[in-house]
């Protein structure tokens, strides 16, 4: 099976191990009735009534929660985000930020991904994305790289002749271990990037400035339900004072609708874990700043990396960013416990070391003396048991919506998820993309 001429198994396979990226979509379309109850305000002087905006509480300030809040607020809802730590502190801040138009084609998120790629384009135009969050179109290459024993010595020596032989290789990709010719697997028409943390934070600051979206720092503990409908969110608000340790205060926030966008922490809420499981796949990344950033062209690299002493083939990814940084990710680990506190997710030193070796092997510009280390980090991809995201209303609790399980494509699919969910919540159905394949009810009786 190939997508755009690339074997599907090579596309982002490191992040989807155990969670196959290729599923065939059930294309049945269905509309859901609005469950939303509007509230009336007292009569105005002219005797007309004005409807109060619906109150929506979005739990989780990752890319999925923030995109949902953004589109809800743009459609007129009064939105509060409750985030446990800080906005985009987890995977949404540490991801690569790679976007692809058609790499999900043939799978269940194909329409979502295509709609979202276009939304990214229009958001970038609206929010000055190239300046504010590093949005840009990219060429994307697939390469095989042979590491060597003591991989740190395998980096290139600026062998431009070799680089020229491997036609279409950018000059900065000058390592000795490069095997065969690269393949172009994405063009500037079909692949792009954002800085994921800046993207998420820009969306939030815009929504706050234009539509008064509020952010509260607190840990959601409980969803209160009355008569089969959501009533309020109970959370521990973190109040930071200048001289003392933060104080936690219990708060109850009434809501007409609630969106649970808790990423890999979703299963910590019993209301969700009683229906489905969201697991976390740990993955690592490093950010380097080469001494000569201008020599790094906008070419993303998807590598097949054969480590020096044999061993498992790795599939790291390399994303140069417009601010001069080069981001590398990969080295996933299954079955790792997710810490309660997103800020306590630490990288495994061996995995981080391997990413540095990959960097040096690929480019002389990414060797230790040539590049400053800006970040060494890890985070968890939110994965579901059937490999599809979960987007929609809980079948047995009116007004309770879920948006999670986006695995390795949450930055790409955030905007269409948020736009579709905002339509479902406020209009009763989603027109931008059919989200019925993602309804939580698919897990009933499984
Ligand atoms: C190394 C790596 C590279 C990636 N690269 C890409 C890429 O190039 N392109 C792409 O499209 N995707 C990529 N992804 C995937 C993407 O990062 C995720 O799919 C996406 O960030 C998930 O977003 P989220 O909002 O669901 O979850 P998260 O970002 O995990 O956000 C969940 C939020 O909920 C908060 N929270 C948790 N519990 C509570 C609570 N009880 N109360 C309040 N708040 C709570 C957390 O603090 C967190 O901020 C990558 C992921 C990894 C790990």
- pLDDT at site 154: 41
Is residue 329 classed as helix, strand or coil in its secondary structure? Answer: strand
Length of the chain: 446
- Of 164-178, 213-227, 325-339, the range with the lowest mean pLDDT is 164-178
- The overall average pLDDT reported for the chain is 86
Is residue 30 classed as helix, strand or coil in its secondary structure? Answer: coil
Cα(241) to centroid(ligand 1), Å: 28
Structure tokens at 347: 């990288």
Structure tokens at 436: 């019925």
Per-residue pLDDT tens for 336-388?
A: 999 999 989 999 999 999 999 999 999 999 999 999 999 999 999 999 999 99
Probe residue for ligand 1, chosen from 91, 341, 384, 418 as the CB with the greatest number of ligand atoms within 8 Å: 91
Q: How confident is the model at residue 176 (pLDDT cuts 50, 70, 90)?
A: confident
Q: Please tell me the residue having the least CA distance from ligand 1 atom 14.
A: 408
Structure tokens at 415: 């905007």
Cα(379) to centroid(ligand 1), Å: 8
- pLDDT at site 405: 98
Q: How confident is the model at residue 403 (pLDDT cuts 50, 70, 90)?
A: very high
pLDDT of 215 strictly over 90: yes
Output the pTM of the full model. 0.89
Q: How confident is the model at residue 38 (pLDDT cuts 50, 70, 90)?
A: very low
- pLDDT at site 29: 26
Which residue did the predictor score with more confidence, 5 or 216? 216
pLDDT of 149 strictly over 80: no
- pLDDT at site 168: 75
pLDDT of 22 strictly over 80: no
Probe residue for ligand 1, chosen from 60, 134, 342, 390 as the CB with the greatest number of ligand atoms within 8 Å: 60
- Of 23-32, 78-87, 222-231, 425-434, the range with the lowest mean pLDDT is 23-32
- pLDDT at site 9: 36
99-125 residues labelled b (16+ CB within 10 A) or e (exposed): bbbbbbbbbbbbbbbbbbbebbbebbe
**Which atom of ligand 1 is nearest to 408's Cα?**
15
Q: Compute the distance between CA of residue 436 and CA of residue 157 in angstroms, rounded to an integer.
A: 53
**Which atom of ligand 1 is nearest to 87's Cα?**
49
- Ligand 1 site residues (CB inside 6 A) read 59-65, 82-85, 89-92, 95-98, 219-220, 261-265, 283, 285, 329, 342, 379, 381-382, 404, 406-412
- pLDDT at site 49: 59
Q: How confident is the model at residue 167 (pLDDT cuts 50, 70, 90)?
A: low
Cα(85) to centroid(ligand 1), Å: 13
Q: Compute the distance between CA of residue 259 and CA of residue 367 in angstroms, rounded to an integer.
A: 44
Q: Compute the distance between CA of residue 394 and CA of residue 387 in angstroms, rounded to an integer.
A: 18
If you average pLDDT over residues 418-439, what whole number do you get? 97
- pLDDT at site 283: 97
pLDDT of 443 strictly over 90: yes
Neighbouring C-beta atoms of residue 149, cutoff 10 Å:
9
- Of 127-141, 162-176, 334-348, the range with the lowest mean pLDDT is 162-176
Q: Please tell me the residue having the least CA distance from ligand 1 atom 12.
A: 409
If you average pLDDT over residues 93-117, what whole number do you get? 97
Cα(93) to centroid(ligand 1), Å: 7
pLDDT of 401 strictly over 90: yes
pLDDT of 151 strictly over 70: no
- Of 99-103, 140-144, 164-168, the range with the lowest mean pLDDT is 164-168
User: What DSSP state is assigned to residue 274?
Assistant: T
Structure tokens at 138: 């990219």
User: What DSSP state is assigned to residue 336?
Assistant: P
- pLDDT at site 4: 38
Question: Residue 445 region, left (φ>0) first, then alpha (ψ -120 to 50), else beta?
Answer: left
Give me the phi and psi of 66, to 5 degrees please: -70, -40
- pLDDT at site 379: 96
**Which atom of ligand 1 is nearest to 329's Cα?**
1
pLDDT of 2 strictly over 70: no
Cα(404) to centroid(ligand 1), Å: 9
- pLDDT at site 5: 36
Cα(11) to centroid(ligand 1), Å: 20
Token match 């730590």: residue? 85
Q: How confident is the model at residue 42 (pLDDT cuts 50, 70, 90)?
A: very low
If you average pLDDT over residues 177-185, what whole number do you get? 89
pLDDT of 311 strictly over 80: no
Q: Please tell me the residue having the least CA distance from ligand 1 atom 51.
A: 95
- pLDDT at site 240: 78
Cα(380) to centroid(ligand 1), Å: 7
Rg of the chain in Å (alpha carbons):
23
Nearest to 258 by CA among 239, 271, 248: 271
Nearest to 67 by CA among 410, 436, 431: 410
């Amino acid at each position: 099976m190939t997508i755009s001429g690339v074997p599907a198994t090579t596309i982002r396979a490191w992040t989807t191990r155990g969670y196959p990226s290729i599923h065939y979509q059930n294309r049945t379309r269905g509309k859901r009735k609005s469950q939303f109850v509007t509230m009336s305000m007292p009569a105005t002087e002219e005797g007309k009534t004005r409807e109060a905006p619906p109150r929506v509480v979005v739990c989780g300030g990752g890319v999925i929660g923030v995109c949902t809040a953004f589109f809800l607020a743009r459609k007129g809802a009064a939105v509060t985000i409750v985030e446990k730590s800080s906005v985009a502190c987890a995977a949404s801040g540490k991801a690569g930020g790679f976007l692809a138009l058609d790499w999900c084609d043939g799978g269940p998120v194909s329409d979502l991904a295509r709609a979202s790629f276009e939304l990214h384009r229009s958001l970038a135009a609206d929010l000055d994305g190239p300046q504010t969050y590093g949005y840009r179109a990219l060429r994307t290459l697939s390469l095989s790289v042979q590491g060597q024993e003591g991989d740190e010595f395998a980096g290139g020596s600026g062998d431009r002749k070799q680089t020229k032989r491997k036609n279409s290789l950018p000059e900065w990709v000058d390592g000795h271990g490069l095997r065969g010719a690269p393949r172009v697997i994405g063009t500037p028409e079909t692949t792009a990037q954002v800085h994921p943390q800046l993207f998420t934070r820009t969306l939030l600051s815009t929504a706050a400035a234009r539509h008064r979206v509020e952010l509260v720092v607190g840990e959601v503990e409980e969803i209160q339900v009355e008569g089969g409908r959501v009533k309020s969110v109970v959370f521990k608000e973190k109040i930071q004072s200048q001289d003392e340790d933060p104080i936690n205060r219990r708060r109850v926030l009434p809501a007409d609708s609630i969106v649970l966008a808790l990423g890999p922490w979703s299963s910590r809420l019993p209301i969700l874990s009683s229906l489905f499981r969201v697991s976390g796949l740990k993955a690592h990344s490093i950010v380097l700043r080469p001494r000569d950033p201008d020599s790094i062209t906008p070419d993303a690299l998807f590598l097949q990396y054969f480590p020096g002493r044999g061993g498992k083939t790795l599939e790291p990814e390399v994303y140069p960013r417009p601010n001069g940084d080069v981001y590398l990710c990969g080295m996933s680990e299954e079955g790792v416990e997710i810490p309660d506190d997103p800020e306590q997710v630490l990288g495994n030193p061996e995995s981080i070391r391997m990413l540095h070796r990959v960097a040096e092997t690929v480019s002389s510009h990414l060797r230790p003396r040539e590049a400053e280390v800006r970040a060494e980090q890890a985070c968890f991809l939110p994965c579901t048991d059937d490999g599809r995201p979960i987007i929609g209303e809980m079948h047995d609790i009116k007004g309770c919506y879920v948006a999670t399980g986006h695995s390795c494509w949450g930055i790409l699919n955030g905007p269409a998820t948020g736009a579709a969910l905002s339509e479902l919540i406020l209009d009763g159905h989603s027109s931008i993309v059919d989200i019925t394949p993602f309804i939580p009810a698919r897990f009933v009786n499984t």
